[in-house]
Structure 1
């Protein structure tokens, strides 16, 4: 039956509809480019839901100006990004859904490539490569490209490294599967972390393709403290990390601690020189509590960078003075490197 189903879709123009959820909040400047990237998509059978999440400055006129019958506009009370995506799941007309933020882009062949692999292997989810691009400089990097070297199917048995990709926006999902397995977003910052942890722990098979599908545009300078790197933001990230712990396979947890030191905490350590002493104290105490709570999962060799490793050792030992000293050095080196890159 599976083979016949795939042959039917490939031999007819009646391909499954993909619903695209575009959440908006103060998005007038960036939304037009996002919608243009959708219109440039090779895959044409689309249902595009543009949802204003309670902001007083609406985008309805922008949506209407595209004069595209596939575009549907919604306005609702402000609930945040995660619950807006849940709104998309519940209101999707398509068999599949894709999440696209209103300040990002998709590649023209993204949806067709994801759908081709989904149909060929009867998959409930297919994930592709995300490109992180600085909107001002055009400098690009690929998000965890090592996970997407070849086309393959990730199973529960071989998925440990897949937890590194915490993005929800580079994936095509079968709507029925999300509902069946109760895979929804929750409130709070870094809702993607918890959502993808649920996804990876509940779906038996997930497709991975080695093609670029999503452009994550980064705005603003990366050499000064921003809202996304504030201590409040750090605490939001910590809440998400603590919540997702129950979905992580036991064998993955040592790697999750390493990911915390090599990525989650490192984001804020790189900005350490910009924080006040009270903010530094808060970061230290929060990180120390997390590391010492999960001390038995720590495998030091998974944190190879010397300064990261020194910070981990300080957290394990409860040595605040060593942590502060090392974090300041790590941060200053990183900031000096960033300034040097800007001069080149």
Structure 2
């Protein structure tokens, strides 16, 4: 079984080396780490190239869009299983092996995360308690899916691509496709260290700043796109 890890990057020189170390160390010989760069102007590309690893495949987007940057990476994925990765996190050493156990039964899974700012020795769980965090309606109301912790089978990706133009975030779109067409599961244990530093590309773990109208429009566009894709 081949694994594709898809990462979107942009000016990530401060943190990307540790993340790449944590991912590459878990890959097998026939796996791949697909990186799509959105026009970095710092040392991000130099750091990536310094690994000199044939499993790392670098592509360029330049669309200035996190959604399109991830789509560019995902379009190149050849694996049976796809993992999503952010440039500034750090994976637990058992992330891939642990995730694959759940993917024997489910089509898409996502996990809890240890949130940290400066030192991974001081972390808090992103999600506490034992609540069920899957389900289409539940996630249309409030998205629980953490893109940086998601992994799914290639059959889900085939249905999700290409991304509709009106979706708000890629993780909500892919997970909604999986909710309708497959089986999903939340792993209530952290499998990544999720870094918060004020410049994250998404609002995961933070209170939304969107107005009520904006929130309703986001959900309407997602539901509309799902109907158009699946009907």
Q: Which TM bucket (shorter chain)? A: 0.7 to 0.9
* Cα RMSD (Å): 3.5
Q: Distance in 2 between matches of 1:241 and 1:130?
A: 27
CA shift in 2, pair 1:141/1:187, >3 Å: farther
The residue aligned with 1:216 is: 194
Given that residues 38 and 63 in structure 2 are in contact (C-alpha distance below 8 angstroms), is that contact kept between their aligned partners in structure 1?
yes
Deviates most, 48-57 or 100-109: 48-57
How many positions carry a matched residue from both structures?
Answer: 216
Higher relative contact order (CA 8 A, sep 6+): 2
Question: Unpaired runs of 5+ in structure 2?
Answer: 224-231
- TM-score, normalising length: structure 2: 0.76
1:67 shift after superposition: 2.3
1:184 shift after superposition: 3.5
The residue aligned with 1:174 is: 153
1:164 shift after superposition: 4.7
CA shift in 2, pair 1:137/1:63, >3 Å: closer
1:186 shift after superposition: 5.1
Is 1:97 matched up with 2:76?
Answer: no
Is 1:145 matched up with 2:123?
Answer: no
Q: Distance in 2 between matches of 1:35 and 1:173?
A: 20
Deviations for 1:126-153, whole angstroms, at most 9, x for unmatched residues? 121112112258532212233479xxx9
**Partner-residue secondary structure (3-state), 1:22:** strand
Question: Unpaired runs of 5+ in structure 1?
Answer: 1-15, 222-226, 249-344
The residue aligned with 1:56 is: 41
CA shift in 2, pair 1:65/1:182, >3 Å: closer
- TM-score, normalising length: structure 1: 0.53
**Partner-residue secondary structure (3-state), 1:34:** helix
CA shift in 2, pair 1:201/1:125, >3 Å: closer
The residue aligned with 2:23 is: 38
Q: Distance in 1 between matches of 2:149 and 2:2?
A: 17
Given that residues 166 and 222 in structure 2 are in contact (C-alpha distance below 8 angstroms), is that contact kept between their aligned partners in structure 1?
no
Which residue, out of 244, 250, 260, partners 2:219?
A: 244
Larger radius of gyration: 1
Given that residues 134 and 144 in structure 2 are in contact (C-alpha distance below 8 angstroms), is that contact kept between their aligned partners in structure 1?
no
Which residue, out of 100, 105, 111, partners 1:115?
A: 100
